Amino acid sequence: MSPIDTLINSTIRPDVRAVAGYHVADASGFIKLDAMENPYHLPQHLREELGRRLADVALNRYPVASYASIKQRIQDKLGVPAGHDVILGNGSDELISILCMACAMQDRRATVVAPTPSFVMYQRSAQFAGMDYVGVPLKADLTLDLPAMLAAIAQHKPALVFLSYPNNPTGNLFAEDDIVAIIRALDGFGLAVVDEAYEPFAQQTFMHRLPEFNNLVVMRTVSKLGLAGIRLGYLSAAPQLLAEFDKVRPPYNINVLTQVAAEFALDHVEVLNQQAAALRAARADLTAALARIPGVEVFPSAANFILIRVPDSDDAHAKLLSHKVLVKNVSKMHSVLTNCLRITVSTPEENSTFLDAFAASQAA
């Protein structure tokens, strides 16, 4: 064994050494339909104005630690209930990590429960925080198995239950009554975290129900709205809970360029909302077109992506790559996703290019 291997084995946790890194495919030269990004830019006049504002940022100074101005815009523009504040994260990933770190007990192993398959960072963040993770499989039709979820809650008494709403990678919205049942089942010992990353495309939310449930946490990101590059997430909960989460948040975790860009975008949020509306319309068109291709099963989606099942996902994925179209092959994530591909909804031009390449791959 080499000296560096000896050093790693003696200093790095075995479970960290054993896990694979989070892989992001190189999309250079490809039509990129694998990461649920908004394909549209801001209009040119807004881009020019944003450039002027960013040029005036004091890069030599730390951010204002309270982030008061951007938090106020989020509260005013994005439906946060009166009396509820938000905390900010470097994307949803950091917020998930903050939640897990805040809830990981030192005297016993705390547990995270989530439906599976779902967003991979729920499990990773739980593991890295030293928590146990229990994944409850979805039904064969990709709907939530409520009896199994309630049984897992009763057995494990989890500190956190993550509920992606709509779910990634399946795209479906779990039934509202099922989520309420889970929130109530956790009352007194656990938090229900409703992850609304795709809320601009689902147009359904639990944000307005925060005053109803002390143990409800609602988490969102501006990434899917069209600002993936600035990495900004936010969550809201009862003020007493937020105060505890904020102790775990790193100081100055949102940089000044992100802050100014987000404030500017939220001042023009109607532009982003129009883009989301265009993507919802494109989702309907793309769903209908995919459903017309023989041998393709299309699952309902309330997100900005569509999950489909094909006869051979590896073959279809490879053929799309040969046409310089990048989608996500999720078939290895879980048995319920066998032969499934996830396709980001994009512009009419990119959707058309994808459909032509995909139809050719299925006909070959």
Determine the average pLDDT of the residues in 13-29: 83
The pLDDT score that the predictor gives to residue 24 is 76
The pLDDT score that the predictor gives to residue 22 is 77
CA 277 – CA 191 distance, rounded (Å): 32
The pLDDT score that the predictor gives to residue 362 is 85
The pLDDT score that the predictor gives to residue 19 is 86
**pLDDT band for position 29 (50/70/90)?**
confident
CA 134 – CA 139 distance, rounded (Å): 16
Residue 364 reports pLDDT greater than 70: no
Residue 56 reports pLDDT greater than 80: yes
* 78-93 residue pLDDT tens: 999 999 999 999 999 9
Determine the average pLDDT of the residues in 29-55: 95
The pLDDT score that the predictor gives to residue 20 is 83
What are the structural domains of the chain? 3-43+270-362 (3.90.1150.10), 60-267 (3.40.640.10)
What spatial distance separates the first Cα and last Cα of the chain, rounded to whole Å? 49
Ramachandran category for residue 339: left, alpha or beta (phi over 0 → left; psi -120 to 50 → alpha): left
CA 361 – CA 364 distance, rounded (Å): 5
- Crossing angle between the packed helical segments 348-363 and 313-322, to the nearest 10 degrees: 120
Instruction: Compare 332 and 363 and report the one with higher pLDDT.
Output: 332
